Amino acid sequence: MIKLLRVDHRLLHGQVAVSWFNSLDVNTILVANDAVAKDDFRKSAIRLAKPENAKLVMKSVNDSVQAINSGVTNKYKMLITVESVADANKLIRGCDEKITSLNIGGTKPREGTVNYSKAVNLTPEEARMLTELQNDHVDVYIQQVPNDKKQVFEQK
């Protein structure tokens, strides 16, 4: 069962590992990222942020979709982190299991981005993708930590 899908350019760090993991009552963290899946150094660094009682899985986005669709993940209560809006969109569109919400936790400033909150910066293309997800009944919201107020995404 997918409890949370989160976009965070840092993937797994203290905020996710402690705040979200504990507040969601999950037992598994899935890092869905193509670059990490092929990079042993990044995998090692991400393992350092993993809560002691968590199962941590790192797969490419396509392999993550396949694992979810195969049913092998059904026995877990999962927090999924992706690095980008594009990866979240690909995961949501590819999964048979309906993902009904998307947490935007952090995207770094880049050329051409618009600031949506202190930690969220989006390109017009990313904002368009999020609006399309909302049009398909996905609850898209900005929230860094569980104690923060949810901010419904609104395209600027």
Q: pLDDT by residue (tens digit) across 29-70?
A: 999 999 999 999 999 999 999 998 999 999 999 999 999 999
CATH number at residue 111: 3.40.35.10
Q: In angstroms, rounded to a whole number, what is the distance separating the alpha carbons of residues 13 and 145?
A: 12
Query: Average pLDDT of the chain?
Result: 95
Q: In angstroms, rounded to a whole number, what is the distance separating the alpha carbons of residues 86 and 91?
A: 9
Model pLDDT, residue 15: 73
Q: Which residues of 71-92 are buried (b: 16+ CB within 10 A; e: fewer)?
A: eebeebebbbbbbbbebbbbbb
What's this model's pTM, rounded to 2 decimal places?
0.95
Residue with tokens 């048979």: 96
Q: In angstroms, rounded to a whole number, what is the distance separating the alpha carbons of residues 112 and 77?
A: 36
> How many domains, the chain?
1
pLDDT classification of 14: cutoffs 50, 70, 90? confident
- Which pair of structure tokens corresponds to residue 149? 């107020």
Domain that holds residue 45: 2-152
Spatial contact of 78 and 1, defined as CB atoms under 8 Å apart: yes
Reply yes or no on whether the pLDDT at 108 is more than 90: yes
